[in-house]
Amino acid sequence: GRSVHQIQSGQVIVDLCSVVKELVENSLDAGATSIDVRFKNQGLDSIEVQDNGGGISPQNYETLALKHHTSKLSTYSDLTTLQTFGFRGEALSSLCALSHFSVITCLAADAPKGTKLEFEVSGKLKGTSVVAAQKGTTVIVENLFNNLPVRRQELQRNIKREWNRVIGVLGQYACIQIGIKFSVSQQAGKGKKTTLFSTKGNQSTRENIVNVFGAKTLTSLITLDLNLELEPTSGPSQRWSTQEDGEKKEIRIVGHISRPAYGEGRQTPDRQMFFVNARPCGLPQVLKAFNEVYKAYNASQSAFIFANIELDTHMYDVNVSPDKRTILLHDQNRMLENLKVALTELFESQDY
Ligand code: ADP
Ligand code: MG
């Protein structure tokens, strides 16, 4: 039968996309400057994420994949000012329960050898062996959902849609992260490995966008830099926890957007990207506001949007769902009103 552990794990790791997000965020948390994501059969056979980050110390091998073991959170107050992506220690433990899971890690840059760690379904360390490795960590997830047949079938049935979402999300990380090389490749069956895209450790999101979406994208893009100031309110429901009376909320939205005159046809979701403090996320209400303004200028097309919303960590909540996919923005309606005004001003200031 299915254990409680397996059922709970299915709430953190809900699909292919959550696997990829958790592993990439772990690599970023580990200080990697190079992240290589390799799929076999679109992830149905395996997903491997290799990084050149800090690696895992031997004293953490035993507890690595146990539930709620994390090296990242030291005090409760850290929860409100989260700097790292991870903090719950649930991803690796969940992956043990939901796949054939192993890790290869190597601490020192000059060591020619690393350690391969294999785990039991419970997250208990099964054994270690010495293997060839470079500095950093490789996490290998094989046969995802092999022990949840219904979930596995669902994944196989929806693989095309899932795959598009996964590649879209990886493109988002690759574009937003400055100075980090991303490479994403896929191998179908026994076929040749093909690289889907790679970034070069660029110093700007523009260069990243060129690497991921091609140079042609740039011809239509203008710089997005909106400063929204929300006047102070007195109602406690609109105040975030540490906001002083009379303190303004400042929100900056930076990135790139199509100039309305350059239509690009209908955009697919992977070309309409939103981030909150560099964390990729779906923000349907914000997208709707962008589309509304853009449509007033160019009714037949939609915009390429790359928008990072920078705001105080107290002004949103990422911890509403275990998969961290839902983000709640405080005082969202007032923010959207200001956003539409600022975006209209930006478009008005362009020469056509
Ligand atoms: P969390 O990220 O919430 O801490 P995870 O289950 O994702 O929990 O990871 C558990 C622990 O494993 C992390 O706290 C970290 O110490 C270690 N870890 C995971 N991935 C990596 C990696 N790529 N490089 C170094 N350490 C890692
Ligand atoms: Mg994590």
User: Residue 142's pLDDT is what?
Assistant: 98
Alpha carbon of 116 to those of 128, 146, 207, 255: distances in Å? 5, 21, 36, 40
Structure tokens at 87: 């903090």
Please compute the mean of the pLDDT values over residues 291-317 and round it to a whole number: 89
* Residue pair 306/257 in contact by the 8 Å Cβ criterion: yes
* pLDDT tens, residue by residue, 180-201: 999 999 999 899 999 999 999 9
Local confidence band at 250 (pLDDT 50, 70, 90 cut-offs): confident
- What's the 137 CA to ligand 1 centre distance in angstroms? 10
One-letter amino acid of 148 = L
**What does the pLDDT read at residue 9?**
65
Structural domains of the chain sorted by starting position, each given as residue range(s) with its CATH number in brackets = 4-206 (3.30.565.10), 214-348 (3.30.230.10)
The alpha carbon of 67 and the centre of ligand 2 are apart by a number of angstroms equal to 12
The residues lining ligand 1, judged by C-beta closer than 6 Å to any ligand atom, are 22, 26-27, 30, 51, 53-56, 64, 70-72, 86-93, 137
Angle at 345 between CA 342 and CA 349, to 5 degrees: 145
Quote the Cα angle for 187-169-342, to 5°. Answer: 150
**Position 309: which residue type?**
I
Position 86 pLDDT exceeds 60: no
Q: By the 8 A CB rule, do 104 and 140 touch? A: yes
Candidate from 28, 36, 70 with most ligand 1 atoms within 8 A of CB, to mutate:
70
Answer with the residue of higher pLDDT: 302 or 180: 180
Q: Rounded to whole angstroms, how far apart are CA atoms 303 and 202?
A: 24
pLDDT tens column, 38-57: 999 999 999 999 999 999 99
Q: Which of 25-34, 77-86, 168-177, 230-239 has the lowest mean pLDDT?
A: 77-86
- Residue 76: what pLDDT? 46
Q: What is the pLDDT of residue 79?
A: 46
pLDDT in tens, 11-27: 678 899 999 999 999 99
- Helix and strand counts by DSSP (H, E) for the chain: 8, 15
Q: What percent of the chain has pLDDT over 90?
A: 64
Q: What would the two tokens of residue 149 be?
A: 């047949």
pLDDT of residue 146: 93
pLDDT at 173 > cutoff 70: yes
Q: Which pLDDT score is estimated for 77?
A: 46
* Residue 228, number of CB atoms within 10 A of its CB: 19
**Band (305; pLDDT cuts 50, 70, 90):** very high
Average confidence score pLDDT of the chain: 87
pTM of the entire structure?
0.90
**DSSP symbols for 206-256:** HHHHHHHH-GGGGGGEEEEEEEEEEPP---GGGS-TTPPTTPPEEEEEEEE
What pLDDT score does 234 carry? 57
How confident is the model at residue 73, as a pLDDT?
54
Choice from 24, 83, 92 to test ligand 1 binding pocket (greatest atom count within 8 A of CB): 92
Q: What's the pLDDT score for residue 30? A: 95
How would you classify the pairing of strands 113-119 and 34-40? unpaired
Q: Which one of the ligands is nearest to 73 CA?
A: 1
Which of 20, 21, 22, 26 has most ligand 1 atoms within 8 Å of its beta carbon, as the pocket-test mutant? 26
pLDDT in tens, 220-246: 899 999 999 877 665 555 555 555 556
SS3 323: coil
Lowest-pLDDT range, 56-60, 167-171, 175-179, 228-232?
228-232
Q: pLDDT-derived band of residue 78, with 50, 70 and 90 as boundaries?
A: very low
| 300 confidence band (pLDDT: 50, 70, 90) | confident
Is 116 within 8 Å of 103 (Cβ atoms)? yes
95-154 pLDDT tens trace: 999 999 999 999 987 778 999 999 999 999 999 999 999 999 999 999 999 989 999 999
Quote the crossing angle between the two packed helices 159-176 and 149-157, to the nearest 10°. Answer: 80
